[in-house]
Amino acid sequence: MHSGRPILYSYFRSSCSWRVRIALALKGIAYDVVPVNLVKDGGQQFSAEFKAVNPMQQVPALKIDGITLSQSLAIINYLEDTHPTPRLLPQDPKKRAQVRMITDHIVTGIQPLQNQGILKQMGEKNMEWAQNCIGFGFQALEQILKHTAGRYCMGDEVSMADLCLVPQVYNAERYKVDMDPYPTITRINKALLELEAFKVSHPSRQPDTPAELRA
């Protein structure tokens, strides 16, 4: 079935999966996709078959070079170590630390609070909860980016921070967050969405994207 290429277990709308798809696209790594529908059949991530791939029962997971990796940042860091061009972490230690800081703000400070599992628990208040969590995180992020941004999150080079920012803005738009207070985030997001790697990895262009949501 597969050609020895990396296999990405992904869901079209998963922001964590999208981060990895961007990294693979930027680094020119061809891969095969195994869609894992997080909604259908009560959530295909809970199947025994997928639990054997990732015991945390989350996407993404990537089979590559004889190992299986989960957690988007662990995957992206591995791709960075094994395919260093183009670089996603600056060489300057201060800038590198700032990229990791921005990344962590999104990956640990915003996204987990509004992921599907949490929102399910929130019931009728799920939209309000998501808006509050994202809004609080974006207030901080906007202030940070005012100091670090050029065209993108860190100057004019695409970095790991950008791979996390774009999917998070997509989530914000899905949950109808007012983006007017965040002009820097909005500007960077728009610039990134013009890049081919961000276009081909977009949720509207995946093998498992429903027909009505396709670009």
Enumerate the domain spans of the chain. Answer: 8-86, 93-197
- Which residue has tokens 């991530």? 45
> Averaged over 42-66, what is the pLDDT?
93
What's the mean pLDDT when you consider all of the chain? 94
Encoded tokens for 105: 């703000």
Mean pLDDT value across residues 85-106: 97
Q: Name the nearest CA neighbour of 9 among 79, 68, 83.
A: 68
Q: Which residue has the higher pLDDT, 37 or 99?
A: 99
Which CATH fold topology does 93-197 show? Glutathione S-transferase Yfyf (Class Pi); Chain A, domain 2 (1.20.1050)
Q: How far is CA 54 from CA 10, 21, 23, 116, 171, in A?
A: 12, 18, 20, 17, 24
pLDDT in tens, 126-151: 888 889 899 999 999 999 999 999 99
Q: Each residue of 200-215: pLDDT tens digit?
A: 999 999 999 999 999 7
Place of tokens 């790697």: 197
User: What's the CA gap between 90 and 187, in Å, rounded?
Assistant: 21
The answer to whether residues 87 and 31 touch, using CB atoms and an 8 Å cutoff, is: no
Six-digit token pair at 31? 């891969």
Whether 145 contacts 102, CB under 8 Å: yes
Q: What percent of the chain has pLDDT over 90?
A: 83
CATH architecture of 8-86: 3-Layer(aba) Sandwich (3.40)
| pLDDT value, residue 177 | 96
Query: 93-197: same fold as 8-86?
Result: no
pLDDT at 215: 76
Model confidence band, residue 1 (pLDDT cutoffs 50, 70, 90): very low
